[in-house]
Each structure stands twice: as C-alpha cells, then as structure tokens.
Amino acid sequence: MCTCEFCNTEFTPRPQVKNPRACNNNPCQRLRQAANEREWRQLNDHLNSKEYHQIRRNQRIDKIKKINAVVIKSLSIGAEFLGLPIDVKVFCGHFEHHFFRTWAEENKQVLDC
Ligand SMILES: [Zn+2]
C-alpha cells in the first residue's frame, strides 16, 4: 500500500510502476503529470541555456574532426602504400572542406540552435 501524494489516500499501486506517487483518480493523475513535468523542467533547466548548446556543438565538431583526421590518415597511408600520385595535403583540404560542408548542410537545424 502507498499513500497518494495529492489526496493522502491509501492505494494499491500497479506492479509496473516503479515509484508510485498518485492514486488512480483522474485529478490526482493530472496533478502527478504536472508535478512530473515541473520537476523535469527543473532538472533539465540547462537545456534552455545557450552556453550548454554551444558546448555540445563544439563537442560534436571536435568528434567529427577526430574522425576526419583518422579517415585522412587512413587515406594517406593507403595512397602511399599503393603508390598513387595524390598530393595528400591538397586532397585532405578538399576532403575536409567537403566533409564539413556536407555535414553542416545535413545538420543545419543543429547548427542554428
Ligand atoms: Zn490521489
């Protein structure tokens, strides 16, 4: 048995509910939902921060740059191994430029945040 946070009556919670807070009455369920949403907003207040999104964006860009560096290193090793007449620096410049332009176009909403 649990006590409803909103009407203080005893109720038997459904076994699926981990932390039962409210009885099955509609007004209590509406209050529970509103309380959950209010608590979620308080816990996730940082999601409204411009700094948070800037930090996350920089983390994504750093991750992409690391992947890009690995791809370019692999390509340069492959070109050297095959003896291909590729100017790796020029190729890498084009690749990096194209890679970021494509990524930026595909993630326009993310970048505009
Ligand atoms: Zn209740």
Q: How many domains does the chain have?
A: 2
Handedness of CA 49, 52, 56, 61 (dihedral sign): positive
Per-residue pLDDT of the chain (113 residues; tens, 9 = 90+): 899 999 999 999 999 999 999 999 999 999 999 999 999 999 999 888 999 999 999 999 899 888 888 888 888 888 888 887 777 777 777 777 777 777 677 766 544 44
Please tell me whether residues 39 and 61 are part of one structural domain: no
Please tell me whether residues 64 and 107 are part of one structural domain: yes
Give the bridge partners for 3, in sequence order: 10
Return the pLDDT at 108.
62
Rounded to the nearest angstrom, the distance between the alpha carbon of 51 and the centre of ligand 1 is 40
Please tell me whether residues 30 and 53 are part of one structural domain: no
Please tell me whether residues 34 and 10 are part of one structural domain: yes
Distance (Å, rounded) from C-alpha 68 to C-alpha 96?
7
Rounded to the nearest angstrom, the distance between the alpha carbon of 11 and the centre of ligand 1 is 8
Q: Which residue range forms the structural domain that includes residue 25? A: 2-43
pTM above 0.85, yes or no: no
Return the pLDDT at 31.
97
Handedness of CA 72, 77, 81, 85 (dihedral sign): positive
Please tell me whether residues 36 and 90 are part of one structural domain: no
Residue in the block written with tokens 């291909």: 84
Amino acid at 94: H
Rounded to the nearest angstrom, the distance between the alpha carbon of 60 and the centre of ligand 1 is 45
